[in-house]
Structure 1
């Protein structure tokens, strides 16, 4: 099967990790896979070298940008159309908003038999301006009829899209975002060694966050709670994995609160180091305000950590509430404080939740489970296309 994946940019992020796992798994099954992407612009770091290392074809389309730029967008559409006519794929699978819109219309014009789009997270949310919400909804409504199948990383994405008038129920299928679970189960560097490198002592209880240092990722909520929690729990330490435009702002605020010794900010790290860093945690806390289904939630559970997250989008499907972690009403800082305190005080409960979470995440989020599900999606789409 000839498969073309399209994504706007290969920065370090959940949608990008999902796309690379799909490409690699399909290549390993013997499919002819091509990945087309824009340049990996931004401070978050690039996955382009990783993409090139796996044997499938990778093409960088310089015109493609995340921002709305009508001139470049037209050039991008024409370039994608030209390349699809040359490649003649059986399946085009798009990811992210910009590549999703331009790629689907180009695939439709090129008469590709099966056009698949994955919703990793919704571009229209209550966190964006009404005009932007309207524009994204309008574009998605127009693109839905030319899409054979719409894949969602959580049922919540399907439900929200249908309420927005995008597509029909029959078009949707949920495929949870898969990942290589092995390094989280058995990290390449032992936990004690990693914690020592981070100046974390055995007595420290580490509440970790894995996310870009960016707006809406929830770091502000943790900073608001930190003075009280650090006063009450002397052994509490915060570990933030990730880089972003707010790094210097957060460091300045931490210093102003005189909590520099209570936070470890790793900055940009290679994706291969993420599993060992997550294994240095005791609790995974992910108070992001906008997600599809945050991959950090299963990653934390794979490392044996109980998870705490806001009940937004698909996060509820990433854990078993009150069994492998806590899902709390969006933006409820008081309850976030309470649930963190519960896990800090009851270490036996935290360990039981972590053990259950590892079993749950392994069954739902392993890359092999996702690849086999996509095989079924493609076969069904080609029959219907």
Structure 2
């Protein structure tokens, strides 16, 4: 394109706390001098933590579209669609790249109607199981296939996700997919970790002999926290080793999970309390301190893409136990890194967690070679390099 910069309009569902926000911000900030990127995003839900601070910390000023929200609202969705078309006409992008479901629907159709040369979409996860009824899911599948035919390419974030989307759900042929792993700035998970561990454990009153176990993420049904809490209850009844659980996050299921703690006879608090079984911390921005301070990360989800918490935990030297969903198995580069149990199999999860607690020692960490390999694979630099190559390939064709 000569000396002209390639204009990229990047459209995100919303800037809530999680991996997609980091990725759209890194791509906007670090894609390279040959690109000019405008980031627009919808509004996070009231129960979600805002991560606008992530964009602002990188010197970014996203253009926010309050009418673009996660839930379906035809009036608001039409308003968002018209706003996106207006932005396309003003910015005149060579590429429109959408991220996650709502942005993918509104953004891709708007780009198609405005005849943008290259249109592509990243699946940070999907909603084709464990979210909606069969009828609603079939409607979403039909819409997604319709949009895929109007996309220049589709981005999968792991080999397993690509296989699932192309072969299981038949969104598009495998040839239409490009595989680009997520990327993050992971340096902070290597820096001053001993001091961060001491700081976190002092803050929360954790004694040296206590095993701290965390689950980091939104408190929503798809994360399946009940499976995790049932497993914690089982472990506590089968060993006298001292453990404390940290639920880092917030969301619509918080009150239901507190009720479940009562039913399972798990004591809980929202403040530092060495006697509590479970601590509801809400969102914590400096998660590097969390992963330094705890000893194991768990994930009990019914559906995932590539969970940022497990990537960050691995770089911090923490092993994980997770259900076998999404791209979890693609994260494993060493047997010591984690244990993957069948999805929705609470007995398998219980046994894996109990075996870990029995054998674990507080402060045990993965080897530095494993941590470095994870950091290299999921660096934001590789994300930007691979994505820029995809853009150039699509523009050339």
TM-score by length of 1: 0.92
Task: Tell me the residue number matched to 2:216.
Answer: 210
Mapped to 2, the partners of 1:216 and 1:12 lie a distance apart of: 16
Q: CA offsets, 1:247-273, max 9 Å, x none?
A: 233234334514331222211223xx1
Question: 1:309 aligns to what?
Answer: 322
The answer to whether the 8 A contact 1:38-1:62 is kept is yes
Aligned to 2:229: 223
Residue 252 (structure 2) aligns with:
245
Given the alignment, which residue of 382, 393, 396 partners 1:369? 382
Whether the 8 Å contact between 1:4 and 1:89 is mirrored in structure 2 is yes
Regions of 4+ moved over 6 Å: none
8 A contact 1:321–1:327 mirrored in 2:
no
CA distance in structure 1 between the aligned counterparts of 2:28 and 2:207, rounded to whole angstroms:
40
User: Residues 54 and 183 from structure 1, CA distance in 2 versus in 1: closer, same or farther, beyond 3 angstroms?
Assistant: same
**1:91-115 CA deviation, whole Å, 9 max, x = no partner?**
2110111110110111122222221
- Check 1:217–1:304 CA distance in 2 against 1; reply closer, same or farther (3 A cut): same
After the TM superposition, which of the residue ranges 8-17 and 174-183 deviates more from structure 2? Answer: 8-17
CA distance in 2, matches of 1:343, 1:29: 48
Structure 1 220/274 Cα, relative in aligned 2: closer, same or farther at 3 Å?
A: same
Cα displacement string for residues 169-226 of structure 1 (whole angstroms, at most 9, x for unaligned residues): 2111111111110111225862111111011111111111111111121310121122
Match of 1:170 in 2: 175
Please give the alpha-carbon distance, in whole angstroms, between the structure 1 residues aligned to 2:301 and 2:72. 25
Going from structure 1 to structure 2, the CA distance change for 1:230 and 1:30 (only over 3 Å counts) comes to farther
User: Hey, what does 2:350 align to over in structure 1?
Assistant: 337
Secondary structure, aligned partner of 1:266: strand
Where in structure 2 are the equivalents of 1:54-203 lying within 5 Å? 54-163=58-167, 164-186=169-191, 190-203=196-209
Aligned equivalents of 2:361 and 2:256: distance in 1? 36
Could you say which residue in structure 2 is the equivalent of 1:234?
Answer: 241
Q: Decide whether the 8 Å contact of 2:12 with 2:40 is kept in 1.
A: yes
Alpha-carbon RMSD: 2.1
CA 1:350–1:160: 2 relative to 1, 3 Å: farther
**Could you tell me how far 1:36 is from its partner in structure 2?**
0.9
328 and 203 in structure 1: CA distance in 2 versus 1, 3 angstrom threshold: same
TM normalised by structure 2 equals 0.90
Measure, in 2, the Cα distance between the counterparts of 1:8 and 1:77: 13
- The match for 2:279 among 253, 264, 286 is 264
Larger mean CA deviation between 296-305 and 246-255 belongs to 246-255
- Specify every segment of 5 or more residues in structure 1 that has no aligned partner in the other structure, as ranges: none
Deviation at 1:50, TM superposition (A): 2.9
| Residue in structure 2 matching 1:281, options 275, 294, 297 | 294
Structure 2: state its 5+ residue gaps. Answer: 1-5, 269-275
May I ask how many residue pairs the two structures share in their alignment?
381
Matched-pair contact (CA < 8 Å) for 2:210–2:362: no
**Corresponding residue of 2:271:** none
* Cα pair distance change 1:258/1:112, threshold 3 Å: closer
Q: Does the aligned pair in 2 maintain the 1:187–1:275 contact within 8 Å?
A: no
